[in-house]
Amino acid sequence: MSENEERREGGAGAFLNLGWRLLELGWASLKLLGTVVDRLLPAKVAFEPIPESGRAADRKMESESQMERREWWGTLFVLCAFLLAILGGIGFVIFFWSGSTGTKLLGGSLAVFLGGIGVTLVVWARWLMSQKQAVEPRHELQSSPSEREDASEAFCGGVRDVRRRRLLKWMGLTGAGVLGAMVVSLMRSLGMSPDASLYSRIWKGGQRLVTLDGKGVSLSSLQPGSMVTVFPENKIGSERAQTVLIRVKEQLLQLPEERASWAPAGYVAYSRVCTHAGCPVGEFEAEQSLLLCPCHQSTFDVLRAAAPTGGPAARPLPQLPLYADADGNLHAGGEFTAPPGPGFWDIL
């Protein structure tokens, strides 16, 4: 059937067609422009009206005068819209080259240009083009049995022409497997295996606590209700090593038995990396001694070894044991109670 042939042709050329369509769209705009200019020249008739050949569904009949009036107003409208667009475009060029490149001016003029041409085209489509509805038959998507047989025969016949097919199959599988292994190996260079850094508890006993600018902290540094961010001496500014040092009233602390000596004079230190999703737990609520994470609003009770008290975090912040040396400077008494940061499968 010629119809089906045509459809198959159209299908085969669908991808080329897209590029062709884009070209034609560009040419169409220019052609439309030409038509407007045509209209403006009084002597030339741009097109011959074709006698109405019947009604399409979903459409009402219009009188000649109505048609003409719509065309006149439509032409006026598109002229105005297009003129506005051109003004906007010229404005853009002027703004740009004169140096006033503020986003408002450039963005506004660009929007006027694009919007004006867009409105022009749409009004053209609605007022100055036929609104004819087309009804087309759909072709059958499923191929006929004979077509399927032909395709199947083309494939199977070709397969039958190949000798030693089973050997080829096993060779193919083996080759694919080896290729896969090679590709995976190449991807290996993208990342490293999770190494000791993931499980590290950062601090070592005896390390001094220092602030962002390297100053040490001592027992007289903070008053109850204050906090400061500290690091080990050798890891200032490190993401995973950041620690929050808080001073609370000593009698309010309710640490577990084995951690009773970890808080000299009411100073407690916890990892600043939230155990939920890894944001720094920056917010400190001084009245109830709560640490709050701003990302998902997890709360940790400073007085109870940073146990999670609300929000989506499940595990407490790892605590750092502290002690004060003879001069009152604060040192770490060991490592964090757990690797800092969000949890993972074998975090233990």
Partner 1 sequence: MAKRGLRRRLGMVPTLLRISLLGMLVSQFAAGQRVEGDPASDGARIFAQKCSMCHGERGEGIAAAVTIAGPSLQAEHEVGRVMTAVESGPSHMPAFSRVLSVSQIRAVSSYVSTQLAVIPLTGGDVGEGGKLFRVYCATCHRTAVRGGALAFAGRNAPALTDKSAALIAGAIRWGPGTMPAFPPAALDDRQLASVVEYVKFVQHPPDPGGSPLKYYGPVSEGFASAAALLMLIGVAGWIERGGKG
Partner 2 sequence: MIVKTLSHWIDSRLHAAKFVRSALNHVFPDHWSFMLGEIALYSFMILVVTGTYLALFFHASAEKVIYRGSYHALDGETVSVAYRSMLHISLDVPAGLLIRQMHHWAALIFLWAILAHLARIFFTAAYRKPREMNWLIGLTLLLLALVNGFFGYSLGDDLLSGTGLRIGYAILLSVPVIGPWLAFLFMGGTIPNPAAIPRMYALHIFLVPGLIAGLLVLHLGMIWRQLHTNYPGSKRTNRTIVGSRLWPSYTAKSVGLLLLVFALVAALGGFAQIDPVWIYGPYAPSAIMAGAQPDWYLGWIEGAMRLFPGIKLHIGHWLIPELFFPAVLMPSLVFGALYLYPFVEKLFSSDKGDQNVLRLPYEQPFKTAFGIGVFVFMLVLLIAGGDDVIAVATDSSVVELRRILRILVIVAPPIAAMLTYPVCARIRRRKAAVAATTPQEIAVLEERHEGSATSSEELLPPHLDEGPGSHLRLGRTGASPTSEMGHSDIF
Q: Is 58 left (phi over 0), alpha (psi -120 to 50) or beta?
A: left
Say whether residue 313 binds partner 2 (CB under 8 A).
Answer: yes
Burial of 243 (0-12, 13-18, 19+ CB in 10 A): buried
Among the listed residues 217, 246, 247, 272, the single contact to partner 2 using CB under 8 A: 272
User: What is the rounded CA–CA span in Å between residue 241 and residue 230?
Assistant: 9
DSSP state string for 225-236 = TEEEEEEEGGGT
Contact mark string toward partner 2, 317..336, x via CB under 8 A: --------------------
The alpha carbon dihedral of 85, 90, 95, 97 has a sign of positive
Closer CB to partner 1, 242 or 337, in the complex:
242
The H or E element spanning position 66 is helix 64-98
Say whether residue 221 binds partner 1 (CB under 8 A).
Answer: yes
- Residue 217 partner contact from partner 2, partner 1, none using kind-dependent CB cut-offs of 5 to 8 Å: partner 1
Among the listed residues 48, 195, 258, 287, the single contact to partner 1 using CB under 8 A: 287
Q: Smallest distance from the beta carbon of 292 to partner 1, in angstroms?
A: 5
Say whether residue 148 binds partner 1 (CB under 8 A).
Answer: no
Closer CB to partner 1, 86 or 228, in the complex:
228
Strands 290-292 and 283-285: antiparallel
| Cα dihedral 272/245/289/278 (nearest 10) | 0
Say whether residue 277 binds partner 2 (CB under 8 A).
Answer: yes
Segment contacting partner 1 by CB under 8 A, of 40-48, 100-108, 147-155, 336-344: 100-108
The count of other CB atoms within 10 Å of the CB of residue 315 is 16
Segment contacting partner 1 by CB under 8 A, of 63-71, 136-144, 186-194, 287-295: 287-295
Say whether residue 28 binds partner 1 (CB under 8 A).
Answer: no
Closer CB to partner 2, 25 or 156, in the complex:
25
Encoding tokens for residue 271?
A: 């990892």
The count of other CB atoms within 10 Å of the CB of residue 184 is 9
Say whether residue 125 binds partner 1 (CB under 8 A).
Answer: yes
In the complex, which residues of this chain contact partner 1 (CB under 8 A)? 58, 102-104, 107, 122, 125-126, 131, 211-213, 215, 217-218, 220-223, 225-229, 280, 282-288, 290, 292-294, 297-299, 310-311
